[in-house]
Structure 1
Amino acid sequence: MTTAERLSKTESDYLSQLAMATERYANRTEQRERNRTVLDTRGVLYADEPQRVEKRLARLGADWSLAMAIEKTPSEPVTTAGSTLQLPPDSFGSDVLGLERLIERNNLTPVAFLEEGTLAARAVGRITTSGPGGGHGTGFMVSPSLLLTNNHVLRSREEADRSVVAFAFQTGIDGRPLVPAVFQLEPRRFFVTDRELDFSLVAVAEHSAQGDPLSAFGRLPLSGAQGKVIIGEFVNIIQHPRGEPKQLALRENQVIDVLDRFLHYESDTLQGSSGSPVFNDQWEVVALHHSAVPKTDAEGRPLSVDGTVWTPEMGEHRLAWKANEGVRISRVLQALHEITLTGGAARLRDEVFTASAALSPPVEGSPSAASASWPDGAAHGAGPDGSTAYVTGGTAHLTVPLRISLGIDAPASPVGTVTTAQPTFTATPTLTTAPTFPRFGRSDGRSAVERDLNAALVNFRLGRERPYYDRTRDHDARAAYYAGISTTDGRALRQALTELLEETHSPRPRYKPMRLVYPWVDLHQDGKLRSIYSGRAFSAEEFIRADAAVEEARLARMQEFLLHESAAGPAEFEAEFDALEASMAFNCEHVVPQSWFTKQEPMRGDLHHLFACEVGCNSFRSNFPYFDFPGFEEAVRDDCGMREEVGFEPEEGKGAVARATLYFLLRYPGLVGDSPGEFPRNRLPSLLTWHESEPVSEYELHRNAAIAEIQGNRNPLIDHPEWARDIDFSGLWP
């Protein structure tokens, strides 16, 4: 028998919950109105914080490039494929339909949405408490044994002891009521409550009074991962309003604000809905519904549905609501982890986190982090020494006795492979045993590379339906972007531009040329890619498929390394990553070489200095700084340009690479030029000469506008070439 309660000064009665929700709602009025304005004028991709939107897109298997392409493509009548886009059925999957639905381009959804919702609904039941203070609420199973609801539904072990939960209390498809299965709650076996976050977690009997097994009703895994919902999205709530048979509020509930611990959304939940699960469109639980915000008069008194001042004698069903509030499920999990439990209670608590692993990795630091179960095909593994690994949110995590964590450019969602990029290592000072690294499995469905490949090809095909460059629109955007910038003082101009470029660089996409550079950003007006140094023309699809093949080969090599090099440490991993990048390069050039900034983000993925470039030219340039040779005879030369120990001069694209380098210097002052072989200050005149000798082309104008759509900032040297001689660049070197 174990009861754990996190004490709080907050009163636990329902009216207190209403008062606190009302206060939180009132305190966020200005921000909420701003959210509504952005939703009305720009859409759901812009109302929330860019990092949250990025994580949401990643969880949907998409990114800003694909989102922008869909958003900018004119709507067409719905095709037989189910999309508003003129694409053949095999050109897209749920990622495209999910994005269309997210940005309100298309309300269609696969029929599996209803089937998954039906499965989710089975785990939701009506709670009934008898005796003093009794009533109804809603709860849902989150592990094989535990049910989650509100603290104000089950305030204490004593109340829970007088309570039951009924599953299948609903109407069948024939319009007749089903026979509910009623289970006794068992708080003496497990009961945890948190007054401040308004949740209670309680054990449920394994069988109903009629002998029905609890396992027949399933459970809803809880995930602490970010990216489950953003402002402007619609959520779904399965509930027992006023104790009535189970009902569903479907996509009429818009999230209007995200607080640190709560979500505010507009919906039709009623009394008795307390304790209901709040779902996104993928039927992931995003919040625990717990309170509503009543309408009030000028004196702050709650109003009834007929407009009069409400009093408790009227009953809560007479209250007039204006919004609802749910507790973010990630905060519930965090609080649950922090509660100290032992023995059987601890094991039951751990099952909540283990169940969560069915959809995503456990919350960092959770008690089940080392023992979580993983779905078939997920990117995961476990070593004999207790090491574990998983891939999520763009990062591959390996936890071993050394506790090494690799930050790499993994695909957007958990997959069965590991992509290769420069790792970031964090390790404890001592190592007592040699780490064993697991082999990552592969998904039975599309691989991560296949998903990226298909998304890139969709983006490329969408681009052919878009105007290549809208001069009028871009002129207006440019004027708004630099409003208030003064050019009277070179140093002040440089500082103002640096601040502007950093402030507006949001989101900050990670390096993924296959999806972000080739399909749209780097295209020329004829729909071709041109190698930045040689000028050779390639089809976008050619580069996309070539990089996909390289990525697959890299993944295979890294998996072999993880399998055979069990004693490898940070130095060995770093060397292997470097060797892979050197031997299997993408067709993408960093104008400022990656080695100069140790392959770190956001520099690595900053689109302003990424250009299509065949591997041969990429390797020929290597990491030599740009140099203006006085003649050709003394230099090693091929179709890509000229190279000697002092530097590299491109055969083509000098103006474009000069402007990209000047952008980089402005955006990241003091980052390069502090080591031998990096861009020295005395090379600045060469860049300025290249900039002036090759004027900005329509290709660069298109690039600049396309990049601004994806990552928010612009290149001032493209927008205002005349500023090159006004800017005081002297303060940009270490």
Structure 2
Amino acid sequence: MLVVFLWKKKEVCFEDKIHITMHHINCIQIQTLINFLGGALMINKNRTISLVGREYGVKDISPLSSSTFRDLVKRRALSILDLSTDEKDWIHNEELRKETEKKIFEKIHKNNNLLPISFLSKGVDKAKAICKITTPSGSMGTGFLIDNGIIMTNHHVIENEQMAEGSFAEFYYEEDKSSIKVFLKPNKLFITSPMDDLDFTIVSCETVGIEDIKPIKLTRNPDTVTRGEYVNIIQHPSGRKKELALQDNNVSYVYDKVIHYITDTEPGSSGSAVFNNTWQLVALHHAGWYTNEGEKLAINEGIRISVIVSKLIALAQSGDESASRVVDTLEDTSPYLGFYDVSGLIDNNNDLLEVEVPTYKGDKRFADVGFWNIEHFNNNISNQKLNKVAKIVSGLSMDALGLVEVEKGALDRLVQELRSSFGANMDYVYFDADGSQDLAIIYDTYTTNVELREDINLKYRSLLSSTTASGKTAFPNKREPLFAKCTIKEEGKDTEFLMIVVHLKAMRDRVSIQRRKLASKVISVIIENLQQDEEFKNLPIILGGDLNDDVPSDSLQDLLNSPALLNLTLDDASAGHLSYLKSPYSLIDHIFISKDMKVGTIQNDDAAIVRLDRSISDFVQDISDHAPLVMRIIYGDSNESFKKLNKSLGIFNNIYEEEDYEKTLLRLKLNQERFENEDEYYNEEKDKFLINSYYNRIDFNINDNKKLYHKINELLTSTHVNILSYSRSKKELHSLVDLREDGTTQSIYSGKSINPEELIRADALYENQKRTLIENLMHNKQFLTDSQKEQLLELFECNGNCNIEHVVPRSWFGNQSTMEGDLHHLFICESTCNSFRSNVPYYDFSDYNPEAYTETVRTECGKKEQDLKFEPNGGKGEVARAVLYFLLRYPHKINNSKKRIDIELLLKWHEEHPVTLHEKHRNVTIFKLQGNRNPLIDYPECANLINFSLGL
């Protein structure tokens, strides 16, 4: 195989050719290319090798049903061909499937398989997470990091905890690199599935030295590859240094549990990660064998990652805490929960049926919940329409049904009609907006209790009253969300959840889109905040109604991206299903659930659109232009099933990377209002409980300062479960972490009060300018050396509006991401003081007098002597404790540390300047965000018991 780098097109060409033709001018040799990308991979050329592993092949596999395979081809076509599709055209249409497959083949194989240049750089990035595994017996395999300190490989590589106990993983085992060995820790986490099942093992490992490796996350999505596509495998065949089987690996068959593909594979490749051409994780390689005596055709088998995830979800729902911990690391959702995605009760995984159902009737074995915009169901409704609506509501048999565009008088008549004509005992709760488009929940009084929670509207009154730049409210006519606590009971079982019914602004004009976008931000901020509240943190949430836009539209992105929510209708939108039954036909009604919700299935999907227009004549004309959406919840005994999941979910899932500054401003506004209550800023009694729980295994009286150092280091590292990017950390500092009691912020060195809103806006402007600069540098990269690019970026950052102080400067630890974004050593600091201190070590001048040193002292910041010494004007205790934390958390990471860190000085400042209320607020807030704490704040007296020099 030859790799050709086309500079002019910025593409990579992979060809099974020996000779270079004129087509390949302006190319560079492969090793030069790999070196250019900073990698140390070897490209595995086509060579004859001995394959073993037929005995490892999964026995219980089935071909996909014709309908499921059609759906897979359709969804891959959406990704590869960028085509739009009408769901109706695909029903029983094998000719369309064959035609689409042909187009996919042509797309993949035409133009000598040109790929974007980012293909190789992304592959090099993924390779960092691949490791060689060596067992006590000396046998070797491949594994890969799926989360911080968690590795996946095959069961036949690591069969049990005893074998794992003496095994180690080796990262960076590559050409021209120094490898890092970490031992496996099965006592912390160990999950395995035998060879006759799914042949995988997931096990914990040490994290020292590999903290900055970005894991290869597991995915719930089964639509990552179809036959005819290429897959790529990074591996350690026969224990050799890392190699890459690239671009001649063709998928020959997709089964329900496995995929088959042709590639160079040796026994040592067991446990390798299999990727598609966009570097999505597709499968776990586990077996390979020749299909004929001539050994010319080799079949290799990989376990589909979505099937492994389904197994983990099933284990988690049965109470397996290790599986729950792994499930918590998932960052995506399946496009259809039900196609090998065990999120509820699944009877037949082989058939993916259409999620649009003509009729639906609730089942008393489940809690059935739905949402419906009845359309103009107001007080002067005709008796004819009233009877038709009552018949539909009765037939649906919902335990709770959220209603949109209703009025109280019409609801009173509906409840009466249900009782008198259909024998249905139902009642409702009601949220009265201005005008005639109110919100309600109608519910079965035999099975359900619903408590309207208008106190939530009052609590978030300011947020709900937010306006756009043009002065328009997010929610028109005070049509705020309806919040209600629902309890659904059946035969002694019950389930509780918070139900939120919404009706966002209609129309597609710019102002209406802005209002929907703002409403989406407000709702996501409220839900994420509710999940921190004692009353609601263990209560699942269902959000639904008429959002008046399709997904993934720009206006709904904050709900779609919220770490607290899963969208149940995203897959239906991509498949072309409808809920709005007039022009423009679209899916604008949606259901979102919190990630702790235990959902059942309706025809193998998590939600259904009830297409009543297919079973009721003149439905759109006489009743509504919206179809109801329904879902079902699995009952749990006294909420036990929810509690099992919540144990592992915790607060740490409520962090995600992307958040625009407008949402950060909303969070700031909410937090400033919260802090008007003194206990909201810092509650000492609650924090005492958290502190005792956090340090319950640390003996501060151990009388061994070295051992205590190591114990605390292990605690701080193992509990640092959320690694925040620097960009994300800045948002948290500005909107929450560094806020003072009065809702403002102060510069750490000068004590100068700064408006946090100004900081957020300035940072947004700075990030946009930086993004533009990087794009320009990439556009002109042929005219600049790497060194020149770095100098331009450094110059921009030095002259930028930098308002964050790393008390351990980034240049001291090489800008490593884990440390760069660690909130414990980040403080707000106005740019003048930030630049004045630069990266100069702390010092204590015996004659420090700001008035006497006009040239070397910036009065509000401190005193500096050349670029060797700096003494801050204020914040000495805070920065001292932050640097000491850094030594505990990141030993040996500070370059030239003995010249830069004066431990005795830091301990002196720590003693002279006691812990402040602001620090306590920071510490507990960072604990909730990152997972770890600063012991110098919690137990100031422990400072003299620890040997901090071990961190230098």
When normalised by structure 1's length, the TM-score is 0.48
When normalised by structure 2's length, the TM-score is 0.38
